[in-house]
């Protein structure tokens, strides 16, 4: 029996998972790391904390499972995307990592929009979202010494590849999303870099996600307890790795990562530019992942928020109680409709801002109605995303759901009923990204074949449950969805005004 190690360094914690070649989880460990915000808008992490989490979780797994390091056939990585970490020629960090939630480089984003105008998307393959290039330019503008001394800019996964193998490398799924990478030629976009004033030589070598980058160095082996020479596979940005973990392997299949917010990642064979949509490489060959990030939809965030309003006690029992309540309300929640926009969206156009809202409240609106309306509202938001993709001729054939909300079978069924799509819930729970990284290690080292039409891989993905849309609820949810769309766009003006006030108050 051989084993595969997967490591995911997320925004708030690191999770490592060891699986055997049949896909069984043998051991896992978590370690959280802090984010610091020295000034409002700044969001930084210390790369040493990432590495510490990696080291400690691997050591714990090795101790607890008593698997010998020479039984581990390979490891791979998943990580939060879009961090910007400058390192020198020796691979030493020149400062903290500026992570994806940092907003300091808004002026640099604007500058890029100015330079490239409407050509930006066509040139870079994506519109600006939270890619690291504006952060690199911020360093150039504000810390010229650091910029000068920067040998390479790294992301989270790139930094960990460096720590494991000593190589300054990146992978396609992580870097293929970035503005400086040209997906069509799979090389750095010289035209972009030149016009933006970004030194192309400061970007690392790029590998396919399933390619071997190198092997565990002596130093890394000493720190982690792994064997020197253990193969290290390039890995990927977390959402693309989750897509692999849940078995979204071909065009039309999708995963919805339901955390605080929903992120729909759709497999597609088209790697081109679509205005308003975002694209990167999938971790498998000849496949891309496309995102619709027009709205920031609070799914788990909404449920968590409602729990806080409805219950004084804390803990997970509340969520089960809310599921039971929601089950008692009829489809359509007695005319109550919810818009799940509890977070400020990244929409550059403020007038299109949406706001968290309830419509249709009466003195008889019950807790059950509130709970169910939140489930239905988030499902409507998902349906809207799917409709937007359809308007771009991009078809979604099924939804695979992960994250906390996917633990609620009622919510999953409502999601199927509202979207009209089959909803599949993989057995792999909160550790999907680390699990996917372990699968990726298997693909990279050949333990899992890539030339059998992924039949072996598919067998490793176990579904917990699946939900078919129920036709009898179609008409009522069509009605709810129509109202949802009208109210979401109809109240944008008011929402914008309220959010402008909130932003103003925050600035004060």
Partner 1 sequence: MSLLGIDVGTTGCKAGVINSDGEFLALAYREYDIVRPRPDWAEMDSRGVWQKVKEVITEVVQRTRHDPVTALATASMGEAMTPVSAERTILGNSLHMFDSRGDEYVAELAVRPGRERLHAINGNVLGTPYSAPKLAWLRDHQPELFQQAHCFLLWAGLVGYLLGGEAATDLSLANRTLLLDLRAEDWSPELLEATRLPRAKLPRVVSSQTVVGEVDDRLADELGLPRRVKIIAGGHDQCCNALGAGVVRPGRANYGIGTFLCVAPVYDRLPPSKPMLDCGMNIEHHVVPGLYVSFLYNGSGGSVLRWARDTMARAEHTEAMLKGYDVYDRLMAELPDEPTGLMVLPHFAACGPPTFDDRSAGVIVGLKLATGRGELIKGLLEGVTYYFAEGLDLLGQAGLHVTEFRATGGGAKSDVWLQLTADILGQPIVRLQVSECGVLGAAILAGVGSGVFSSAAETAEAFARITRVFEPSPPKHAHYQQRLAQYKELYPLLKDYLHRL
- Contacts with partner 1 by CB under 8 A lie at 260, 298, 301, 304-305, 308-313, 335-337, 342-343, 355-363, 365-367, 370, 483, 486-487, 490-491, 493-495, 497-499, 501-502, 505
Residue nearer to partner 1 on the CB measure, 95 or 356: 356
Residue nearer to partner 1 on the CB measure, 42 or 358: 358
Residue 40, CA distances (Å) to 37, 306, 352 in order: 6, 27, 24
CA dist 309 and 293 (Å) reads: 28
CA dist 467 and 400 (Å) reads: 10
- Report in angstroms how near the CB of residue 420 gets to partner 1 at its nearest: 21
Residue nearer to partner 1 on the CB measure, 138 or 338: 338
CA dist 399 and 378 (Å) reads: 14
Report the DSSP pairing between strands 277-281 and 262-268. unpaired
CA dist 411 and 373 (Å) reads: 10
Residue 439, CA distances (Å) to 39, 132, 226, 391 in order: 39, 27, 18, 34
- Report in angstroms how near the CB of residue 502 gets to partner 1 at its nearest: 5
Q: What does R_g of the chain's alpha carbons equal in angstroms?
A: 23
Bridge partners of 465, per DSSP, are 425
Scanning the structure block, which residue is given the tokens 């896992």?
28
- Report in angstroms how near the CB of residue 378 gets to partner 1 at its nearest: 13
- Report in angstroms how near the CB of residue 477 gets to partner 1 at its nearest: 14
- Report in angstroms how near the CB of residue 373 gets to partner 1 at its nearest: 11
| Residue from 385, 372, 299, 300 nearest 340 by CA | 299
- Report in angstroms how near the CB of residue 320 gets to partner 1 at its nearest: 16
Residue nearer to partner 1 on the CB measure, 391 or 505: 505
CA dist 26 and 43 (Å) reads: 35
| Residue from 399, 400, 353 nearest 500 by CA | 353
Residue nearer to partner 1 on the CB measure, 414 or 487: 487
Question: Residues 225, 218: contact at Cβ < 8 Å?
Answer: no
Residue nearer to partner 1 on the CB measure, 393 or 507: 507
Residue nearer to partner 1 on the CB measure, 29 or 325: 325
Residue 279, CA distances (Å) to 152, 274, 290, 367, 468 in order: 24, 8, 4, 40, 28
Question: Residues 154, 170: contact at Cβ < 8 Å?
Answer: yes
Element containing residue 234 per DSSP (H, E): strand 231-237
- Provide the token pair at 394: 């991009």
- Report in angstroms how near the CB of residue 438 gets to partner 1 at its nearest: 33
- Report in angstroms how near the CB of residue 47 gets to partner 1 at its nearest: 28
Question: Residues 219, 207: contact at Cβ < 8 Å?
Answer: no
Residue nearer to partner 1 on the CB measure, 208 or 306: 306
- Report in angstroms how near the CB of residue 365 gets to partner 1 at its nearest: 7
Residue nearer to partner 1 on the CB measure, 101 or 456: 101
Residue nearer to partner 1 on the CB measure, 94 or 306: 306
- Beta strands (DSSP E) in 374-417 are 398-402
């Amino acid at each position: 029996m051989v084993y595969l190690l997967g490591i995911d360094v997320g925004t708030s914690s690191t999770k490592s998972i060891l699986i055997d070649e049949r896909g069984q989880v043998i051991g896992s460990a978590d370690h959280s790391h802090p984010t610091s915000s020295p000034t409002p808008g700044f969001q930084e992490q210390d790369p040493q904390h990432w590495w510490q989490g990696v080291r400690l979780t691997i050591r714990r797994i090795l101790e607890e499972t008593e698997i010998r390091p020479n039984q581990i056939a390979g490891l791979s990585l998943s990580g939060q995307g879009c961090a910007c970490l400058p390192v020198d020629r020796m691979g030493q960090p020149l400062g903290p990592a500026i992570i994806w939630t940092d907003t300091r480089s808004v002026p640099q984003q604007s500058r890029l929009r100015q330079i490239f105008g409407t050509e930006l998307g066509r040139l870079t393959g994506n519109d600006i979202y939270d890619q690291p290039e504006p952060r690199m330019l911020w360093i150039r503008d504000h810390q010229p010494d650091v910029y000068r001394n920067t040998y390479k800019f790294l992301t989270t996964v790139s930094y960990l590849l460096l720590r494991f193998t000593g190589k300054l490398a990146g992978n396609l799924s992580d870097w293929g999303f970035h503005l400086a990478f040209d997906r069509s030629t799979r090389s750095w976009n010289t035209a972009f870099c030149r016009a933006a004033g970004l030194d192309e030589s400061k970007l690392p070598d790029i590998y396919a996600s399933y390619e071997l980058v190198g092997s565990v160095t002596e130093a890394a082996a000493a720190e982690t307890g792994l064997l020197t020479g253990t193969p290290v596979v390039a890995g990927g940005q977390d959402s693309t790795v989750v897509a692999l973990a849940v078995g979204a392997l071909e065009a039309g299949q999708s995963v919805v990562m339901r955390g605080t917010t929903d992120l729909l990642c759709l497999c597609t064979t088209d790697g081109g530019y679509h205005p308003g949509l975002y694209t990167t490489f999938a971790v498998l060959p000849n496949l891309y992942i496309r995102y619709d990030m027009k709205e920031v939809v609070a799914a788990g965030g909404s449920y968590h928020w409602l729990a806080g309003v409805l219950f004084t006690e804390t803990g997970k029992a509340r969520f089960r109680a809310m599921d039971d309540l929601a089950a008692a309300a009829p489809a359509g929640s007695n005319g109550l409709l919810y818009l799940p926009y509890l977070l400020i969206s990244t929409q550059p156009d403020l007038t299109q801002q949406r706001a968290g809202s309830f419509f249709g409240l009466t003195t008889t609106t019950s807790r059950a109605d509130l709970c169910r309306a939140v489930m239905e509202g988030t499902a409507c938001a998902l349906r809207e995303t799917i409709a937007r993709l359809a308007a771009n001729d991009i078809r979604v054939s099924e939804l695979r759901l992960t994250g906390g909300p996917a633990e609620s079978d009622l919510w999953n069924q409502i999601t199927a009923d509202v979207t009209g799509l089959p909803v599949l819930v993989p057995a792999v729970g909160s550790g999907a990204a680390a699990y996917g990284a372990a699968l990726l290690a298997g693909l990279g080292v050949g333990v899992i074949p890539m030339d059998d039409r992924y039949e072996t891989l598919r067998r490793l993905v176990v579904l917990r449950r699946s939900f078919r849309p129920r036709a009898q609820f179609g008409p009522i949810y069509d009605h709810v969805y129509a109202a949802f769309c009208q109210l979401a766009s109809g109240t944008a003006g008011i929402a914008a005004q309220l959010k402008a006030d909130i932003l103003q108050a925050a600035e004060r």
